[in-house]
Amino acid sequence: MYLTRWEERALAGEFGEALRLAMEIVVRVGEFCGAQKLIPVSHAHVSGVSIFNIGEYGLEFLEDLARRGARVSIYTTANPASIALSSVGATLYDKRVVDAQRRVVEALIRMGVEPRSFTCAPHLLREPSPREHLAWAESSAVILANSVFGARTNREGGLLALAAAIAGRTYEAGMHLDENRVPTEIIDARSIALESVLEASLLGLAIGSVTGGVPFVELSKPLRFEHPWSRLLLRNLLASIATTSSSPLAIVDGVYPERVELCSARERISIDVSELSRFLEGECRSSVALIGCPHMDCEELLELCRRISRSRYSRGIQRVLATIPQNLASECIDRARSILSARGIELVVAPSTCAVVSRLEPLSPEILTPHGKALHYIPKLAGVRACPMRV
Amino acid sequence: MSNACVELKAKVWSPGNKVVEGAPLVVEESISFLGDVDPERGVIRSIGAELRGRILVARGFRGSTVGSYILYAMSKRGVAPKAIVFRELDPVVVAGCVASSIPMAWCPSLDLSIAKNATLAAVDPRNSVVRLCS
C-alpha cells in the first residue's frame, strides 16, 4: 500500500504508541481489503457503545486505549449507549451494569468523542456533504450518508471507526471508489402503497434479504428527505435494508443525488405486498411501544406521535418509550408528550440510548414497534418479543 | 517439519514479520467470538478446545464489533491462539488481530476438510503462504 511520509512515520511509532496502533489497524484492514492507499476523512462515527453489546471486554479495551493516550484527530461522534444510562434504565438494571455503561461513555469522551453525540443519527449533529469521505460505523447511519447525502463511507466495524478517528484516515476501498457505487439489481416495489413506517420497514427488510449489494429501488411514490413524514419513511426503509443486508448504499429513485447508470444491474426483482408478511414474526399485543430506532429529529418525532395518537391500532398502548438524541429540545419533547397524553398515552424519553441493544426483559415481555431494525433485532438482542405496530 | 506439506497462497500479517507455527485447531463452521468463545480461558465452548498455543483455522466469523474486543481480552490474558487462519475475510477480525498482536492469514483457497488432517500449521508472512503439514 502507498503511504505518505507522515503515515509511514506514524506507523513506525514516531508520534506515540496510540497513533501507531490506530494507523496499524487502518493500514492492515486496508491491505486485506485490497486498498491502494489511505484517504483523509472528516468525520468518524464509532459504534459498539452499549455495554450489553461490547461487554466488560469492550470496556477494558476502550479504557486501556484511553489510558495509553489515544485521542481522536477529527470530529468524532458515537452511537447511543444502552438504556441502562437513562432514568428508566437506572431502575431496571443492576448498579454494576449501569456503572460499566457509564465508564464506556466516559472512556470515549476522554478520547475526544463529541459528548453531545451518542446517537445513531450523527447527521443531526453534522450533515455530510456530497462526495465527502467519512469513516462511519452504524449501519443505519452509513446507508443514510451514502444514499441520501451522497457522502462516501464503508460500513466500518466499531474498532476500525475508532482507529480511523485517531488516525484521521481510512483505507480507500469499497464505497470510497465510484466504481463500486453502481446498482447490482433493480428492485421494483411500485405496487406497494408505502403508507406507514411499518410498511416502509418491511419493504426495507425484504429488499435487504434479496439484494446483491447496491439495490436500485423503484417506489410507488417519490420520497423526499425535506418532508418529515416522507423522511421518516425513507429513513426506516434504508435502515431496514441495512438490517437484513450488509449494504452500505441503496439508490432510491429520485433520492440519490448523483446520476447512475443502470446497465450494471443484472436483474429486475419485483416485491409485492404479499412478500412483506414474511418479515412479521406474528402479531402480538403490548401496552408498551418503542419508537426512535433509528433516532428521530424533532419533526419526525412529532409527526410519528401525531400518527400514533390518530391510529385505531394504538388501542391498548399505555406507554411509549422514545429513544432520542440528547440535543432534542425540551419544547419538542413537551409537544410530543401532550400529543400522546391527549390519547391517554404516557411518553417516556431515553436520551442518548438505544433500546434494541439493551436487555428489555425487565421492561416488558412484549414490545410494539413500527421500526424494521427494532423488529429484527429486539428478539435477538433484547430478549423480548417484538410486535409490529401499524403506524 | 514432516514431508507431507501443502502450501497455500495467503495474505498474511504477523508482528515483526515473524513466521509462526503450531498445532492447528480446525473449526469447520463460522465462529462467533461473542458466545462461542470463553475469553477468560480461551476456550471454544461447543467443542471444549483450548486456543492457547494453537493455530486457529476457521471457515470464517459471525457477529460484529465485539469480536475485536474478545480477541483483545484473550490476548491480554495470555490465552489467545498463536495465529488465526480463515477462508472468509471479516474486517472486524482483522482489526481485532492487529489490536491484539495476533498473527493472521486470509487464505481463500483453504479446504477445511484437508486442514482437518494437518498436524502442523505455519503462517509465513515472508512468502505469503500458509503451510499445512500432516
Give the residue among A282, A76, A306 at the shortest CA–CA distance from A168. Answer: A76
Q: Rounded to whole angstroms, how far apart are CA atoms A372 and A238?
A: 10
Task: Write out pLDDT tens, residues A306-316.
Answer: 999 999 989 99
Q: Rounded to whole angstroms, how far apart are CA atoms A387 and A282?
A: 7
Q: Rounded to whole angstroms, how far apart are CA atoms A306 and B130?
A: 61
- Judged by a CB distance cut-off of 8 A, whether residue B13 touches chain A is yes
CATH-assigned architecture of domain B22-116: 3-Layer(bba) Sandwich (3.50)
The per-residue pLDDT string of chain B (134 residues; one tens digit each, 9 = 90 and over) reads 556 899 999 999 999 999 999 999 999 988 888 778 999 999 998 889 999 999 999 999 876 678 889 999 999 999 999 999 999 999 999 999 999 999 999 999 999 998 999 999 999 999 999 999 99
Averaged pLDDT for residues A143-167:
97
pLDDT confidence band for A320 (50 / 70 / 90): very high
Res. A201: pLDDT tops 60: yes
Q: How many CB pairs under 8 A join A and B?
A: 79
Q: Rounded to whole angstroms, how far apart are CA atoms A23 and A9?
A: 10
**What distance in Å separates residue A35's CA from the closest CA in chain B?**
13
Amino acid in the structure at residue A325: P
- Judged by a CB distance cut-off of 8 A, whether residue B4 touches chain A is no
- Judged by a CB distance cut-off of 8 A, whether residue B41 touches chain A is no
Q: Do B91 and A29 touch (CB under 8 A)?
A: yes
- CB contacts under 8 A, A 61-80 vs B, are 61
- Residue A25: its pLDDT value, please? 97
Phi, psi (degrees; rounded to nearest 5) at B22: 180, 180
Please provide the DSSP assignment of B1-36 as one string.
--S-EEEEE-EEE-GGG--EEEEEEEE-SPEEHHHH
Averaged pLDDT for residues A202-208:
97
Query: Per-residue b/e over B119-134, b at no fewer than 16 CB within 10 Å?
Result: ebbbbbbeeebbbbbe
Res. A176: pLDDT tops 80: yes
Q: Rounded to whole angstroms, how far apart are CA atoms A53 and B32?
A: 13
- Residue B2: its pLDDT value, please? 52
**What distance in Å separates residue B3's CA from the closest CA in chain A?**
30
Pick the CATH number of A5-177 from 1.10.1060, 3.30.499, 3.30.530, 3.30.450: 3.30.499
Catalytic residue among B30, B32, B64, B75: B64
Rank A167-171, A357-361, B111-115 by mean pLDDT and report only the highest.
A167-171
Res. A275: pLDDT tops 70: yes
- Residue A287: its pLDDT value, please? 96
Helix H or strand E encompassing B69: helix B66-76
Q: Does domain A288-388 have CATH number 1.20.1260?
A: no
Q: Do B66 and A29 touch (CB under 8 A)?
A: no
Q: Where are the domains of chain A?
A: 5-177, 182-279, 288-388
Please state, rounded to an integer, the average pLDDT across all residues of chain A.
Answer: 95
Q: Do A48 and B11 touch (CB under 8 A)?
A: no
Q: Rounded to whole angstroms, how far apart are CA atoms A133 and A313?
A: 43
Averaged pLDDT for residues A22-50:
97
User: Is B64 a catalytic site residue?
Assistant: yes
pLDDT confidence band for A264 (50 / 70 / 90): confident
- Judged by a CB distance cut-off of 8 A, whether residue B33 touches chain A is no
Name residue A251's beta-bridge partners.
A216
Report ipTM (2 d.p.): 0.92
What is the sign, positive or negative, of the torsion defined by CA atoms of B7, B9, B10, B12? positive
Q: Rounded to whole angstroms, how far apart are CA atoms B79 and B44?
A: 11
Q: Do B76 and A60 touch (CB under 8 A)?
A: yes
Q: Rounded to whole angstroms, how far apart are CA atoms A240 and A235?
A: 8
- Residue B114: its pLDDT value, please? 87
Q: Do B69 and A54 touch (CB under 8 A)?
A: yes
Task: Give the residue, A282 or A6, on which the prediction is more confident.
Answer: A6
Task: Write out pLDDT tens, residues A66-92.
Answer: 999 999 999 999 999 999 999 888 888
Q: Do B68 and A32 touch (CB under 8 A)?
A: no
C-alpha cell at B64: 460484529
**What distance in Å separates residue A353's CA from the closest CA in chain B?**
18
DSSP conformational letter for A128:
P
CB-based contact B1:B121 (threshold 8 Å): no
